[in-house]
Structures are given as structure tokens and as C-alpha cells.
Amino acid sequence: MTAETTVYRAERVWTLDPARPRAEALAVRDGRLLAVGTLAEVRAAAGPTAREVDLGRATVVPGLVDAHAHLHGLGKSLTTVRLEKAPSVEDVVQRLAKAPASSFQGDWLLGKGWDQNEWPGAAFPGRAELDARFPTTPVFLTRVDHHAAWVNGEALRRAGITRDTPDPQGGRILRDARGEPTGVLVDNAMDVVEAAIPTPTREQLETRLRAALERCAQVGLTGVHDAGMDLHAFRTLQAWDAAGTLPLRVYAMAAGQGEQRHAYLEQGPWQGRHLAMRSVKFLADGALGSRGAALHDDYSDEPGQRGLLLLAPEELEARAQAFMARGFQVCIHAIGDRANTLVVDVLLRGAERTGTQALRHRVEHAQILRLEDIRRLGAAGLVASVQPTHATSDMPWAETRLGRERLKGSYAWRTLKDAGAHLALGSDFPIENPDVLAGLYAARTRQDAKGWPEGGWYPEERLSAAEALEGFTVGPAWASFEEARRGRLKPGLDADFVALSEDPLEGPAAALVDARVLATVVAGAEVFRAAD
């Protein structure tokens, strides 16, 4: 039986193939691109029995990939209480009072997305407001950056946290003037309470993952690099991949921070059809918004505080080299400049000792760096996995945290690229929305959706339209060892592509704010098609 051939035609097709950058149509057969070129050429290659799909005035681009994201986290945020853009503590409590049943894990009430920077005074909240409304129900609310949690007294009680509980290594239990825990836990202190939360049921896990994958397809993602996948989620996706029901491509990084790392080390790198596990994710420090990012010098708005290293440097190095020796690409979260110095040291020294320079080790976020560390990162050809919308989210308050001098090496995509780093762009969803078009816009403009600030925030670090698109296509393909199969539209490559209502290369950047995804195709199968 002959496989069906489908011809897709559109107003324009951007291939990112230097030999033929623009086309009118493409033909798909057996999950691969059979032909790319003029409509006449593609029809001739496809044959007279081919099915045709007319995408009208759409622009087709190679499959868009988010190079740093969290599928289970996205699914969790879609099914529990959403606290993004809550303007006050009172609003948070009101949202919690209306929580759907899916927001409970066991009898714990979960929510995500609060940000004290959005509130009057920008101060961290306390447990009193939660205790007044939920005296006996444990409440666990993760901050927008997932590097701090706000909990109530019942959650602290179940976790055994009292005024006498010391701060764990790499974590802070915020306390009031009397030494009592306030209910805010930063970085590794979150783990003490999370350990008391019942694990999600199999049904909950599958519901969350399906919701996340569906959302990704809707926003035009054909693939996701999952930054630190829980073993239970990985086993679920493995089963779906074996059954042929995993709709998107997932490049999973093993969760290297906890005890599950031993199982991943024993398993070794793994490759399926749409799912791969050949990398590992560690966290060097926390996040800037919760003052957990590890800095060389004090925070400008909190003298005496320099952030947190979540693993002792010698432990981080030992774990990194163990995974390198096992054949894993090592990916390390680094936000602050002290963390980035450490991570560049660890990756370069580890790659040399294990002879794994070819494994394309990655710095995840590469957010605040000293200029000399940017030069070292680039000279070594490391992957800088950066998130454009982090800059546009942080720009209203980043200077308050860092001061102007440290901003010279912060969110420095242009400087990183010019130094020789391989850029792979992402969103870090659900910390940011999984909206790849917003990422393309932020990369080009360094502005919010309303066009602020005029000219862009530190505009010298902007990327061109082509560089931004390559950052979500060619860059992730390189960072996942798939540049020979994906990232461009050429005959023989995988048939992963997206149809957009606006042209991301020749159209104005502002048009991306309201642009729509019309179709998402993975291995020749339509995983999303806009209703109209």
C-alpha cells in the first residue's frame, strides 16, 4: 500500500535552508518532507493522487521548539489555581476560595504564579491571610519563578517546620522579627514542605501532561526540551511514545537534582520515536525575583544577601562529571553571575576531564554574567539556552535588584551570540506563557506587548528577525543533536512545520503580538488546526 502524500501550499514558506530560503509549497510523505519548492515542482514530485491543503495567506516556517520548558509544570498550572497577575494578597485568597477540585493533590490546595513585585509595596506575603481562610487545609503556592513557595500554618505543621528549624543548604525559611516562619520558603526550603504533599495520582499526572501537550500544539510548538523531567512523567511519555500517541517531540533532561538521578544514571541515554532522554538538568542557584540567584556581590536592594547555591560546588561538579562519563549532555540552570562563573568552570573542566566536549553541554538561562564569563562560554562553543520573555518580564525591576553595572552582562543575547555561543531560545513555561510568538517578539524588540520601553530595553542586545526564528528552530535542533533531521525545511528532513497568520521574518515585529497559529504539523501529522 502506497503511503499518502500531502501537498501544503501557502503564500510563503520560509525554509531556513541557505540554498533555497523561500518556497511556495511542500510535500509530505511517511513523516518526511518529499519536496520543497514552487507549487509546480512540489506537485510534480507528489504525483497526481496527492492530497492538497491550501493554507491561504499563511506563512509556513520550520517546526518551532521551546528549548527550555516544563511540561508537567505547565499541566499543573493549567489544572490548579492560577495566580498570575493577581494584584494583591486579597485577590489571591479570593481565587483560592473558588478553587476547582483539580487544584487539590490529596487534601492539599495547590496554586501557582504569585508575584509580590505586582503588589503594593512589593513585599513578600505572610501566612496570616492564608491561615484566616484555610485554618486546617494545607496550602502550597509556588511563586511565578518556581523558586519560592508561600504556605500556610497547616502546611508548615505537616512539614514539621518551626522557629527552631534551621535553613537547609541552598534554601531560606523567611522569618519575622520574632524568628517565626512567615510562610515563605525560598529554593531548597521548598523541598521540606513538598516532601509532605501526596504524590499526584496516575490519572492526575496523565491529565496534566495531556493538557500541557495540547496547549503546546495550540501555540505552534512541534517540540519541547523539558528541563528536568520527573521519572514518573518520563515513564508515562515513554509508554505513549511506544504506542504512537505522543503528539509532539520531547527532548527530556533527566532530573539530576534529587534521588531519581540514580535511576537515570543506571538507565543511560535513551532514544525513542518522539521522545529522547540524553541530557540531564542540574540547578546551580535560584531565581532573581526571589533573590535566590547567586551573585558575586550583594543585591542592590538587599545588602548582605547574595543569593543561594543549591548544590555545593564540589557536589555539582561530581554529579556533572558522573553524567558526562555516562554519555549525557549536561545542562545547568544558572541565573546569577556567581552561579554562571561556577557553571562555566564546571562544564569546561568536566568536559576536558571526561573528553565530552562533543556533547554540547548547556548553560540554562545564562541570565546574568560577567563579561569575561560570556567570553569563556562563547569561546568553548557552549549552548546558551535563554528565554527572551524573561527579559521583558523582569525589566521593570531588574535594575533595582542588580544596579546598572551588572545589567551590562544580563539578558545579553547579542553579546553571547557574538562571543560564539550557540543560542537556543525558549520560554521556561509555565514560569512564562508557552507562547512562542511572544518569544519571537521579545527577542526582536526587548519590549512589552504595548511597545514599552520605546526603542527596547538595552536594545543593543536585540536579535534580528532571522536570528530570533533560528533561535526557536535551528538552535534547539543543534542543542538536541538533531540538526541533520530538523530545524529547516528540506527534502528528506522530518515534516515538522507551523503555519502562522503573520510573517515572522519580513513582517513588522509588532504584528507578532496578535498573530495566530493556524496549523501545527509534527512528522506530517496535523496536531493542531485553527477552527477557522
Cβ atoms within 10 Å of 193's Cβ, excluding its own: 21
Question: What is the chain's mean pLDDT, rounded?
Answer: 96
What are 191-236's pLDDT values in tens digits? 999 999 999 999 999 999 999 999 999 999 999 999 999 999 999 9
Task: Tell me how far apart the alpha carbons of residues 148 and 477 are, in angstroms, rounded to a whole number.
Answer: 32
Residue-level pLDDT at 438: 98
Type of residue at 236 = T
Task: Tell me how far apart the alpha carbons of residues 398 and 393 are, in angstroms, rounded to a whole number.
Answer: 9
Task: Tell me how far apart the alpha carbons of residues 410 and 416 are, in angstroms, rounded to a whole number.
Answer: 10
Transcribe 204-271 into DSSP letters. HHHHHHHHHHHHHHHTTEEEEEEEEE-HHHHHHHHHHHHHT---SEEEEEEE-SSTTHHHHHHH--EE
Partners of residue 105 on adjacent β-strands: 108
3-state secondary structure of 452: coil
What are 369-419's pLDDT values in tens digits? 999 999 999 999 999 999 999 999 999 999 999 999 999 999 999 999 999
Beta strands, E only, 120-201: 139-143, 148-151, 171-175, 181-187
CA dihedral 169, 173, 177, 178 (to 10 degrees): -90
pLDDT band at 73 (very low <50, low <70, confident <90, very high): very high
What are 339-380's pLDDT values in tens digits? 999 999 999 999 999 999 999 999 999 999 999 999 999 999
Question: At CA 81, angle to CA 75 and CA 87, rounded to 5?
Answer: 125
- Look up residue 136 and give its DSSP letter: S
Residue-level pLDDT at 144: 87
Residues found in the chain: 532
pLDDT over 60 (residue 77): yes
Domain ranges of the chain: 107-195, 284-463
Read off φ and ψ for residue 357, nearest 5 degrees: -60, -30
pLDDT over 70, % of the chain: 100
Residue-level pLDDT at 2: 55
Contact 311, 258 (CB under 8 A): no
0.85 exceeded by pTM:
yes
251-269: average pLDDT? 96
Task: Tell me how far apart the alpha carbons of residues 405 and 349 are, in angstroms, rounded to a whole number.
Answer: 29
pLDDT band at 122 (very low <50, low <70, confident <90, very high): confident
Interhelix angle 337-354/313-325, rounded to 10 degrees, is: 40
pLDDT band at 118 (very low <50, low <70, confident <90, very high): confident
Instruction: Select 107-195's CATH number: 3.10.310.70, 2.40.50.140, 3.50.50.60, 3.90.1560.10.
Output: 3.10.310.70
Q: Please report, for residues 101, 121, 293, 478, the alpha-carbon distance to residue 334 in angstroms, rounded to integers and kept in the order given.
A: 36, 28, 8, 20
pLDDT over 90, % of the chain: 95
Residue-level pLDDT at 1: 44
Handedness of CA 127, 129, 130, 136 (dihedral sign): positive
323-352: average pLDDT? 98
Residue-level pLDDT at 459: 97
**Looking at the domain covering 284-463, what would its CATH class be?**
alpha beta
Residue-level pLDDT at 292: 93
CA proximity to 69, closest of 180, 179, 213, 203? 213
Residue-level pLDDT at 146: 83
Kind plus residue range of the DSSP H or E element containing 517 = strand 517-522
258-275: average pLDDT? 96
